[in-house]
Each structure stands twice: as C-alpha cells, then as structure tokens.
Amino acid sequence: MKKTLSIAAALAIMISCKKESTEQDFSKNPIGEKSELLTKASNFFKSVSTVPEENIPQEKIDLGKKLFYDKTLSKNGTISCNSCHNLSTFGVDNKSVSEGDTKELGVRNSPTVIYSSLHAMQFWDGRAKNVEEQAKGPLLNPVEHSIPNEAFLEKKLRSIPEYQALFKKAYPKDKEPITFDNLANAIGAFERKLIPKSKFDDYLDGNESALNDQQKKGLNSFIDNGCITCHGGVALGGQMFQKFGVYGDYSKMTGSKKLDRGLYDISKKEGDQFLFKVPSLRNVEKTAPYFHDGSVTSLKESIKIMGKLQLNKDIPDNEVNDMVAFLKTLTADADARYKK
C-alpha cells in the first residue's frame, strides 16, 4: 500500500512545531541534560544505532560484494552495479542519468545504494519492495544491464568455476546454488551492510557537540519549516510517496526537459500523477544532481525549490545556508572493506 501525506496533515505538523528564532543560542544546556533541540529532533529522527544489526552469513556478504562489482552481470560485460552506484563516490555516479550496457541513457537518476536497505520501497516509483527485489530490475532492463532473461545469466555464472564454489559456500543446502534469486539475495546481503554512522547519528546518540551552532540552527530550521513531514525517521526519507509539485509545476522550477509522471506510469491512476518515492537525505551533500531526473546540481537551489513547490515558502537565504550546513552532517562514507 502506498503511503502519502495530505497537505492538511503536513500543515498540522508544521503548525505544531512552533517557530523559534534563528538567533537562539544552541551552544548551552545544563550538564547531563538533553537540550530542547535534541529532544525535539528525537521526535522526528532516529540514529542508525537504533537499527538492529542483521545476522547475515559472511559468505553471502562476500559473494554479494563480488557480484556488485562484476561486469559479468551485464550482457556485453561493460557495466557492473557499481558503475551507476559507485561506492567510491557515495553510491552514485553523479550523473543526471546513467549510461547502460549498450551506451543508451536511462530516464531517471540513479540513487545511492548506501542506506537503501532502510527504505520502505525501492526505485523512484517504488516498484520493488526491498533491495533484493531491486537488484533484479536493472539486470533485466534492456537499457541498463541488458541481460535477456534469468536463465541467460544463470548459465553465464555456472560456467565460471569461482562462482560455482562461492555460491555453493553461500547456499550449501541448495541442490543448484547458482540461481537468479540467490544472486539477488547475495547482492541484497551486501547492500544491507552499507549503513555507516554520520555526525548526525552521533548527535542523536547524545553527543551534542557533534554539531556546531550553524548546523544546529539548520536542524532547527529543517524541523520548523516542515521538511520533517516527509524527511524523517532513520533514513530521513524513503518511506512514502509524495507529489512532486504540491504548489506548482515542478518542471518550471527544475528546468526538467521531460515531464515524468512518476507512479502514474505504472498504476495509470489519475491520483498517482507526479507521485515519487521521497528520497533519503543521507549523503545528500555528495549525491548531486538532485531529483528524479537529476535536473538540479545545487543543494542550495534544491532546498529553495522544495520550499516553494512542497511547502509554498520562500525560505530565506540565511536559513537555506544553515540547512545546507545541517544536511552535511548526514554525510557518511561506506566502510573501506566494502569498497573494491
């Protein structure tokens, strides 16, 4: 079931968060006592420290890592999962749209795989329920990995002795370990380990000195402007659908060359026009360009666009600058052992 939030509900949350002066002193609070800001933030966000660690066999993680980086998983051997979701650059390729196995360009921006397992659904239109299901989609997409069918890839991997041994080790109970389902399961196992801890997590865990005064002002502005309506929880997004352009035509502000109708393209329901999965804001500093089509390169500009289109607000430059400072505290790189 898709999740949407009405404008009325959004306004109710916004109104409930009493606007505080940006001149407020966030540097002082009694020793051992949680500050008012941290108390408020804890109502909307959760640290990755609260996410239970999944007990995944190391053999599956290692196999998933190898598959993630292997260009064998494309028909012509030109791209891997990492080509579009580069873990050396925070899980993205920093392109508006990505080039596939046949050099053809996709139509939507490739989101980061870091933290993707925390999302309630995958892809901009939410058509996959988890990272395992998501891993299958690009492989069989003619514009992406261009694998013609599941059997083609299974046969290709079964001809490689190293994969015969690795799949048998990861799936010892299976009569035929090398299957399309097991391949996706292994890639998902690897991606589920990509949950690094950021400065903001440290702050939420109680270390209030993890954020400086400007970053705290930005956090306060982020909450009071109503951004938490969609960007909350552990992932700061990724949990619901929302219309892009509640208060106007998004393409006029983003300069998008093509109008994408989002979920409507799948459901064909009029009410789903321009509904997209709300992206996570974790690592947003590093994952430009922004929006479903990668149409905007500036984080500051993206904040101003979201304020106008989604909240009907002209957010002042000083608050935008503070919010950028806050959003940079969400930056966290994947563990070095998961990089190639």
Catalytic residues: 144
Contact in structure between 178 and 292 (CB atoms under 8 Å): no
> Can you point out the beta strands (E) in the chain?
241-243, 275-277
Handedness of CA 222, 226, 227, 231 (dihedral sign): positive
Nearest to 2 by CA among 168, 180, 152, 127: 127
Beta-bridge mates of residue 275: 243, 262
**Token digits for 124?**
């901009």
**By the 8 A CB rule, do 326 and 318 touch?**
no
Whose CA is closest to 140, among 101, 173, 190, 194?
101
DSSP 8-state code for residue 296: B
Check: CB of residue 182 under 8 Å from CB of residue 171.
yes
Q: Read off the amino acid at residue 155.
A: K
Token reading at 49: 């420290």
Instruction: Please tell me the number of Cα atoms within 13 Å of 142 on its side-chain side.
Output: 1
Across the chain, how many H-helices and E-strands are there?
A: 14, 2
